[in-house]
Structure 1
């Protein structure tokens, strides 16, 4: 079997809640359903990411999503000209390994599943398409392939992939997956040069993934298979049986499968990637003015530098300040220093605590 005979099925994982981009991103409309980096939403940008790929055929996409977002997803896909698709609506989140298994059971066994999170940025699509083409020969042989981002700094917010011997054209065997490191270990790995960031983007045949799941996570596969056998369907929507899926173990594809398999390869690629995991990372990938300010919405910046302003209504005016993040959304205002946006988690936790205390009084 050659790569020319592979049918690629995009699998878009859209179950995240995006709490790190509060107050814009909320559970009812998380970041993948928002136009954060362009006029299109991040889901829409992901859904059209394989257009123009001519090395193999590309089949209709399969999305795996929170059931609460079904109508929004339908609307956004149709706005992007995508009318032939399936959406598997999870009754509860069980992490990425079961989500991918749902899609693998919906696809044909010989299909190559291109698994993509719905909330990432990829600016250089030709580089991404080239990386997919380099992966296809190994995928056809049953390998599980991950795409590693060539690091440009000692980032501590990502997991890393250690790469070993070459097993294809600019493709390497995976030696091991590394947890998010501290600064010293990140600098060491960067100096060694045989590490890539783990982007959570994968390519493998559906049957190869299900075989791995049977070998390493039989209980998970059994629960997912039963939930799909007993699923209900309504047009493009597929509803796995809730009771069965609730009983499914929860685990990521990295822990459940990729770290346990032997035929795992990594394609390193530099493609303008970001997971837009914080307001700081959104600033990094946004178009900026001469003062390195990124602005979305109504803003007046006088002498401000290196700021991010995101407003859904009121004008934000900044005068002679540097390195601020200012977000106005849905009646909430948040201001914090650039470089400190990981502390948004503290904000959401504090708000939850206030809500609980109010409810109990």
Structure 2
């Protein structure tokens, strides 16, 4: 492997609670076959294979080590390293662990969440190719998702002047906006959603941490230096890692660094952040229903515009519309379409009603 090889960094530490009851802390959504026969993790890993790419570095929760290794082995991918976080400290420290494990200081790291959908992989690869020359010069690059709605659940990026074909300087990052501001940005053009996918050299990222988040850099360096290593599995020192500030890459680095670029791209992206989002990207029958049984059975008569999932029990529906119905294990979720973001309320209510130990 050479320093010019792109090293995929797959972030797999999320808990995926917004897709309860199928997604749970012990098996969050990246390990589920939500959009295809393969899991979200497997589809993510497949996006970055071939002559240009090296073996991936996976950063995951220590509790999920078996699932990571088994699922990647099933598709014939052996990671260069699996870094197992003793606790979640957000994306900036997680990426620092991967950068410290990179095979070369100048390795280009392609940072990808493990639980996103990219329908047009060719467009993604074209965006990567457009970014690479700037990455070689030391720029930190993010990929901006071409917006098609005034989305308030994502951060936005305002694109600045062009600095290379298809690449712009970032003018500013915008927090998750209220609806009126999102509508204004969509109408104005020159804005993109922040999809959380990045490309930069390992040494440039670590240098940015040294300048803007030195405590985080010190903590992650110590955690990796004192890590236990078992084959490809790295267990960073828990006490050292706990000393790191918990912060996203956007806050810790991207909003503060000088040479930050964005490649706007339309690539059929979704973060599958809710059951409604999954319905929006799923194939539907002539009645608008998206149903998929993974070990269960779904029967829908005179039913329209519903999302139905089961991994065990039979779900039978007659004469209903615009529902989300998900059956997993001993739990069944039923709610109107358009309200799946309220699952957080359900989970809090279930915690409050649980028997006290």
**TM-score bracket relative to the smaller structure:** over 0.9
Give SS of 1:200's match.
Answer: strand
Q: Cα deviation per residue 1:91-145 (whole Å; 9 max; x = unaligned)?
A: 0010000000000000021100000000000011000000000000100000000
Q: In structure 2, how many angstroms separate the alpha carbons of the residues matched to 1:154 and 1:219?
A: 36
Equivalence for 1:241: 237
For the pair 1:151 / 2:147, whether they are aligned, the reply is yes
For the pair 1:118 / 2:114, whether they are aligned, the reply is yes
Q: In structure 2, how many angstroms separate the alpha carbons of the residues matched to 1:51 and 1:203?
A: 15
TM-score by length of structure 2 reads: 0.97
Stretches of structure 2 lacking an aligned partner (at least 5 in a row): none
Q: In structure 2, how many angstroms separate the alpha carbons of the residues matched to 1:116 and 1:205?
A: 14
For the pair 1:140 / 2:136, whether they are aligned, the reply is yes
Q: What aligned pairs does 1:241-260 form with structure 2 within 5 A after superposition?
A: 241-260=237-256
Q: In structure 2, how many angstroms separate the alpha carbons of the residues matched to 1:17 and 1:350?
A: 18
Shift of the alpha carbon at 1:6? 2.1
Shift of the alpha carbon at 1:231? 0.7
Shift of the alpha carbon at 1:338? 0.3
Q: In structure 1, how many angstroms separate the alpha carbons of the residues matched to 2:127 and 2:72?
A: 25
Equivalence for 2:158: 162
Equivalence for 2:349: 350
Stretches of structure 1 lacking an aligned partner (at least 5 in a row): none
Give SS of 2:130's match.
Answer: helix
Give SS of 1:32's match.
Answer: helix
Shift of the alpha carbon at 1:84? 4.2
Shift of the alpha carbon at 1:291? 1.0
Equivalence for 2:27: 29
Give SS of 2:127's match.
Answer: helix
For the pair 1:178 / 2:178, whether they are aligned, the reply is no
Give SS of 1:289's match.
Answer: coil
Shift of the alpha carbon at 1:317? 1.7
Moved more, 128-137 or 319-328: 319-328
For the pair 1:359 / 2:356, whether they are aligned, the reply is yes
Give SS of 1:359's match.
Answer: coil
Equivalence for 2:94: 99
Shift of the alpha carbon at 1:83? 2.2
User: Paired residue for 2:6, among 5, 8, 31?
Assistant: 8
Displacement over 3 Å in runs of 4+? none
Q: In structure 1, how many angstroms separate the alpha carbons of the residues matched to 2:136 and 2:65?
A: 33
Q: In structure 1, how many angstroms separate the alpha carbons of the residues matched to 2:139 and 2:150?
A: 29
User: Paired residue for 2:43, among 42, 45, 48?
Assistant: 45
Equivalence for 2:325: 326
User: Paired residue for 2:287, among 283, 288, 291?
Assistant: 291
Q: In structure 2, how many angstroms separate the alpha carbons of the residues matched to 1:84 and 1:314?
A: 35
Q: In structure 1, how many angstroms separate the alpha carbons of the residues matched to 2:44 and 2:81?
A: 15
For the pair 1:308 / 2:307, whether they are aligned, the reply is yes
For the pair 1:73 / 2:59, whether they are aligned, the reply is no
For the pair 1:59 / 2:58, whether they are aligned, the reply is no
TM-score by length of structure 1 reads: 0.96
For the pair 1:279 / 2:275, whether they are aligned, the reply is yes
Equivalence for 1:205: 201
Q: Cα deviation per residue 1:293-351 (whole Å; 9 max; x = unaligned)?
A: 10011111112111000011222122221110001001101100000000000011111
Task: Say how many residue pairs are matched.
Answer: 352
Name the Cα RMSD after superposition: 1.1
Q: Cα deviation per residue 1:5-56 (whole Å; 9 max; x = unaligned)?
A: 721000000000000000100000000011111111100101111134x5xx
CA contact 2:97–2:220 (8 Å) conserved in 1: yes
